[in-house]
Chain A
Amino acid sequence: MKTYKNAMNKINASESFKAETAEMLVSHQANKKKIRFIPIAAVAASLALVVALGAIFFPTSENNNSFIITANAAELNSNSFTTIGELPASNWRADVDENEIYVIADFALEVKGENIKNVTYTIDNGAFAVPDANDKLTASKKASKKVCVPKRENKSFYSEITAKYNNQIDTTNDNVEIVFNPAKIDKDIILVAERYGKFADVWVYDTEAEKINNYQKTTEEFFSGAVKDCRIKVQAEYSDGTIETQRLTYNADVKLYTEPLTFHTKNGDETRNVYIAKVNLKAKLV
Chain B
Amino acid sequence: MAKNIDVNLINHIVNTYSDTILRIAYQYTQSIYDSQDIAQDVFLAIMKKDISALSEEKLKAYIIRATINKCNDFHRKKSRRKVISLEDAEPVFTPEEQNVLDEVNSLPEKYRNVIYLHYYEGYRVNEIAEILGAKPSTISSQLSRARAKLKDYLTEESYENL
Chain A residues close to B by CB (< 8 Å): 1-8, 10-18, 20-22, 24-26, 28-30, 32, 90-98, 150-153, 197, 200-203, 264-267
Contacts and interface: CB of A to CB of B under 8 A. Distances in A.
B152 interface: yes
Interface of B: 3, 5, 7, 10-11, 14-15, 18-19, 22-23, 26, 32, 35-36, 39-40, 43-45, 47, 65-66, 69-70, 72-73, 75, 77-78, 80-81, 83, 85, 87-88, 91-94, 96-98, 100-101, 104, 108-110, 115-116, 119-120, 151-153, 158, 161-162
A32 B98 CA distance: 42
B152 A10 contact: no
Nearest to B97: A7
A10 B104 CA distance: 16
Contacts of A92: 73
A4 B10 contact: no
A29 B13 CA distance: 14
Given A3-B100, A16-B85, A11 B77 contact: no
5 contacts: A10-B97, A16-B85, A22-B11, A265-B152, A265-B153
A8 B151 contact: no
Contacts of B75: 90-91, 93, 150, 152
A14 B43 contact: no
Per DSSP, are chain B's interface residues mostly helix, strand or loop, or mixed?
Answer: helix
**Residue of A13, A25, A200 with highest tally of chain B CB at under 10 A:** A13
B51 to A, nearest CB: 12
Given A21-B43, A97-B45, 16 more contacts: A4-B97, A7-B97, A7-B98, A11-B23, A11-B91, A12-B22, A13-B19, A22-B10, A25-B47, A93-B75, A94-B73, A96-B69, A153-B80, A201-B108, A265-B153, A266-B153
A98 B94 CA distance: 39
A17 B80 contact: no
A216 B115 CA distance: 29
B47 A1 contact: no
A91 B73 CA distance: 9
A16 B85 CA distance: 7
Contact of A28 (B44, B83, B87, B152): B44
A177 B87 CA distance: 37
Contacts of A202: 108, 110
A3 B39 CA distance: 24
A17 B18 contact: yes
B152 A201 contact: no
A186 B63 CA distance: 24
A258 B83 CA distance: 44
B87 A18 contact: no
B17 to A, nearest CB: 9
A264 B153 contact: yes
Given A203-B108, A266-B151, A97 B161 contact: no
A150 B75 CA distance: 10
A31 to B, nearest CB: 9
B40 A8 contact: no
B77 to A, nearest CB: 6
